[in-house]
Amino acid sequence: MRVLIINTSERIGGAAIAANRLMDALRNNGIKAKMLVRDKQTNNVSVVGLNKSWWKVWQFIWERIIIWKANYFKKHNLFAVDIANTGTNVTTLPEFKQADIIHLHWVNQGMLSLKDIQYILQSGKPIVWTMHDMWPCTGICHHARECNQYQHECHHCPYLYKKGFNDLSNQVFKRKAELYKLSPITFVTCSNWLKEKASQSSLLKGHSIVHIPNPINTNLFKPRNRKEARIACGFPQEKKLILFGALKITDKRKGIDYFIECCQILVQKYPHMKDELGVVVYGNHSEELKSLLPFEVYSLNYISNEKELANVYNAADIFVTPSLEENLPNTIMEAMASGTPCIGFQVGGIPEMIDHLHNGYVAEYKSAEDLANGIHWILDEGEYESLSKEATRKAISSYSESTIAKKYIEIYNKIIGNHA
């Protein structure tokens, strides 16, 4: 069986990492999987990149110009929505023609236009589409937040200044509705939370929606000697270390403001922690936190090397993710597999991953105080060794490559049978 995975990027962003790991998992389980991307970042021969050109750069810019205009030339939400008006027709590529299954992932920002998706649906090949956010089931947004217009028909989009019954969200929603009638699509959500949201969308009525988590290599992300990990990373041995990371640390959606407030609360309530704790921050703009936190900060750039990342997780005592909107974060999966207890807000798929007070702590949404309570509980009150072991056990049983690959292979076989 030949599977072609399609994603915008090879390695940058959560969807890219998940798609790449799925390709490896499938290949390790006997499937001839390849990945087609717009942005190729490695020399992996199983990953095929689209030919680079200034035209593709212009396509990306043109999509942003349309959104910019709809927002009265303000930068507000410029990258929070996608209208898929530009892309590449991939159906002419040999990798597409050779594939038995076409498996879409995150295909925005100039990878596939709605027209390109139409060509894929009209090809007659079985289609699987893994949803890493809500875009496939909304008009233009990746996270609907409190808006529920997508359940019937998008309009008056809260992400747009120029909103109305026939705004950009409505136009794209109607085009998607027509597209999805062309061929059955098996939609896969990484979390039960997203499955529930997707099932409420009128766009996906009549299509199959199943839940399969993202996979992780539990042979790489596993508990290791903490002292050795800290030596490898250059971190101090005597402090307890909080880990906080994201592609872009200053992204407000990642909850940076709540993390800063939470650290200030910790020092106020537990003064002794000021000298006992340190914070490891990895991601773009991580150095900006040095002057904002009351603890010693060890800043790292965004880490794409997974072996280095595994060391960072093992060097930390706790991983904190105060994200305000999430599906199924790879970071929590990686930390748990490494035996590092996690704390996150009760949002999206996070409560499905962290079992409260069993392998981590689920904090009240947007409560910096409860986030601080969770850090203190794990470090000073909870049975740390038990939390660590249970986190690893959950990751292995729920997210291992072999477990997830088998679930996808079952779906592939089923839809190939339906197309026969």
Q: What is the DSSP letter of 74?
A: -
What secondary structure does DSSP assign to 141-198, as a single string?
A: BS--TT--GGGT---S-TT-SS-STTSHHHHHHHHHHHHTTSS-EEEEESSHHHHHHH
Residue at 161: amino acid letter: Y
**Residues 300, 211 share a domain:** no
Instruction: Judge if 141 and 270 occupy the same domain.
Output: no
Could you tell me if residue 221 is inside a domain? Answer: no
Q: Are residues 264 and 341 in the same domain?
A: yes
**209, 238: one domain:** no
Mean pLDDT for 151-157 is 97
Q: CA-to-CA distance for 302 and 247, rounded, in angstroms?
A: 6
Work out the number of other CB atoms within 10 angstroms of the CB of residue 66.
13
- Residue 271 is assigned to a structural domain of this protein: yes
The residue count for the chain: 420
pLDDT at 361: 98
Residue 144 exposed, middle or buried by CB count within 10 Å (0-12, 13-18, 19+): buried
Q: Are residues 115 and 90 in the same domain?
A: yes
- What's the pLDDT band for 72 if we cut at 50, 70, 90? confident
Torsion of CA 67, 72, 73, 79, to 10 degrees: -30
**171 in a domain, yes or no?**
yes
55 found inside a domain? yes
Rounded Cα distance between 77 and 370, Å, is 29
Q: How many whole angstroms separate alpha carbon 229 and alpha carbon 310?
A: 9
Whether the per-residue pLDDT at 289 is higher than 80: the answer is yes
Burial class, 260, CB count within 10 angstroms (exposed 0-12 / middle 13-18 / buried 19+): middle
Query: Average pLDDT in the 38-50 region?
Result: 94
- The whole-number pLDDT of residue 75 equals 82
- CB 38 within 8 Å of CB 105: no
Q: Is the pLDDT of residue 24 over 80?
A: yes
Kindly state the tokens that stand for 249: 């640390």
Cβ–Cβ < 8 Å for 23, 336 = no
The letter for the amino acid at 78 is L
User: Average pLDDT of 325-347?
Assistant: 96
Domain-embedded: residue 327: yes
Q: Are residues 26 and 160 in the same domain?
A: yes
Written as one letter, the residue type at 253 is R
* Strands laid side by side in the 185-189 sheet: 47-49, 32-39, 2-9, 101-104, 127-131, 185-189, 208-211
Residue 420 has pLDDT above 60, yes or no: no
- Read off the pLDDT of residues 188-236 as tens digits, 9 standing for 90 and up: 999 999 999 999 999 999 999 999 999 999 999 999 999 999 999 999 9
Does a structural domain hold residue 220? no
Of 366, 307, 372, 314, the C-alpha closest to 340 is: 314
Residue 419 has pLDDT above 80, yes or no: no
Q: How far apart are CA 281 and CA 138, in angstroms?
A: 33
Distances, alpha carbon 376 to alpha carbons 229, 241, 262, 373, 382, in Å: 23, 12, 11, 5, 9
Domain interval for residue 304: 226-399
Task: State how many domains the chain has.
Answer: 2
> Is 337 in the same domain as 360?
yes
393 and 295 assigned to the same domain: yes
My answer on whether 206 and 254 are in the same domain is no
At residue 385 the predicted structure's pLDDT band, cuts being 50, 70 and 90, is very high
Q: How many CA atoms lie within 13 A of 132 on its CB side?
A: 19
Pairwise CA distance, residues 320 & 228, whole Å: 22
Q: How far apart (Å, rounded) are the C-alpha atoms in residues 159 and 144?
A: 9
Asked whether residue 180 falls in the same domain as residue 326, the answer is no
Q: Whole-number mean pLDDT of the chain?
A: 95
Residues 92 and 230 in one domain: no
Residues 154, 252: one domain? no
What is the value of pTM for the model shown? Answer: 0.93
Residue 302's pLDDT band (cuts 50, 70, 90): confident
Please report, for the domain that includes residue 32, its CATH number.
3.40.50.2000
Report pLDDT digits (tens) over 229-266: 999 999 999 999 999 998 888 888 999 999 999 999 99
